[in-house]
Amino acid sequence: MTVKHNSVSLRARRQPNLPIWLRAWNVVVMALLILPVLIVIPMSFSDARNFSFPPKGFSLRWYENFFTSAKWTDSLFTSLQVGILTAVLATVLGTLAAVSIARMSPKFSGFLSGLYMAPMIVPGVIFAVAIYAVFLRWQLVGSLFGFVAAHTMLALPFVITSVSSSLSGYNPGLTTAASSLGAGPVRAFLTVTLPLILPGVVSGFVLAFVTSFDESVVSLFLQTPNLETLPVNMYNAIATEIDPTVSAAATLVILVTTILVVLVQVVPGRNKRK
């Protein structure tokens, strides 16, 4: 960990004279990524009854509608609930998986970490159909646990990746040292390993939450009128009627995920600067 602090070599590696066309290209890519957001946010403040861009007039009526309609607030609450439970479950399972992968011989760990990436690679619809088929039989469709279980599967790769990258900078000798000083395996993990890989665990937690909070494909299959997440509700609101409240909901989703992701960027940074 201490090696990374060599600021001299970092400075030497930075290129001060980036060609102008490279800078310009960056602006294009950034615009491509951010433009949809820049359209949806102004739309949410529109006064019109339809999706019109540029927005006509200014009002907070769609936000008012969002927070006063039980359907919207219920789905928001469901999404937060599913998101937090998913994040907790995926973080615990993913961290333990990453720790065990790190201890295995390269032969097994390579195979396993490939396998754990499957939910990221398998197309969402295929995954959703498979989940739906199994959950129907197990009567998990439309249940909170069903949502949490499915989202946890999708979120696990993010936790495992982020904890694994933290673990790659962890010296397993420290666990040996802790054991020689009288700490059993669990105590050694909690007092030495966990604090040192915490940045990876925290960012895994946030990524897991965001994965669940944004997820729509699997949730569409698992929804029932009684239990639907925010993205599902947004989809229904567009598919069945034209409800501009969707743009307000979208803006809120963007706000929540942006704040969280920025936090993740900042937290490990603060740790490194010490």
Partner 1 sequence: MQKLEHEQAITVSNVTMQYPSSTALALNDVSLEIQPGEFMSFLGPSGSGKTTLLSLIAGFVNPSSGTVSIGGNQIDGLKPHRRDLGVVFQNYLLFPHMSVFDNVAYPLRQRKMDKSQIREKVTRALALVRLDPYADRLPKELSGGQQQRVAFARAIVFDPRALLMDEPLGALDKNLRSEMQRELARIHRELGMTFVFVTHDQEEALVLSDRIAVFNDGRIEQIGTPEDLYYRPSSLFVGRFLGDSNVFSGKIDVETSTFISPAGSAYLTREELEKTDANVMIVRPEAISIAPKTDTNTDGFEAAVREIVFTGSNVTVYMEFGDGTPGIAKLTMSEASKLAVGQAVTVSWDQLRQHLIHDDGLTS
Interface residue list for partner 1 (CB under 8 A): 1-2, 5, 171, 173-174, 176-184, 187-188, 191-192, 195-196, 274
The encoded tokens of residue 5 equal 């602090």
The residue (of 13 and 274) whose beta carbon lies closer to partner 1 is 274
The least CB distance from residue 5 to partner 1, in Å, is 8
146-151: Cβ within 8 A, 24+ apart: 146/222, 147/78, 147/82, 147/86, 147/219, 147/222, 147/227, 147/229, 148/82, 148/85, 148/86, 148/89, 150/218, 150/219, 150/222, 151/82, 151/83, 151/86, 151/90, 151/211, 151/212, 151/215, 151/218, 151/219
The residue (of 112 and 183) whose beta carbon lies closer to partner 1 is 183
The residue (of 36 and 185) whose beta carbon lies closer to partner 1 is 185
Angstrom distance (rounded) from CA 116 to CA 160: 8
Which amino acid, 52?
A: S
The residue (of 178 and 206) whose beta carbon lies closer to partner 1 is 178
Which amino acid, 236?
A: N
The least CB distance from residue 183 to partner 1, in Å, is 5
SS3 246: helix
The residue (of 131 and 192) whose beta carbon lies closer to partner 1 is 192
The residue (of 270 and 274) whose beta carbon lies closer to partner 1 is 274
The least CB distance from residue 48 to partner 1, in Å, is 55
The least CB distance from residue 188 to partner 1, in Å, is 8
Which amino acid, 7?
A: S
Residues 184 and 118: beta-carbon distance below 8 Å: no
* 54: preceding bond cis by omega (within 30 degrees): yes
The encoded tokens of residue 227 equal 């239990």
The least CB distance from residue 174 to partner 1, in Å, is 6
The encoded tokens of residue 101 equal 């992968």
The residue (of 110 and 185) whose beta carbon lies closer to partner 1 is 185
The least CB distance from residue 184 to partner 1, in Å, is 5
The least CB distance from residue 173 to partner 1, in Å, is 5
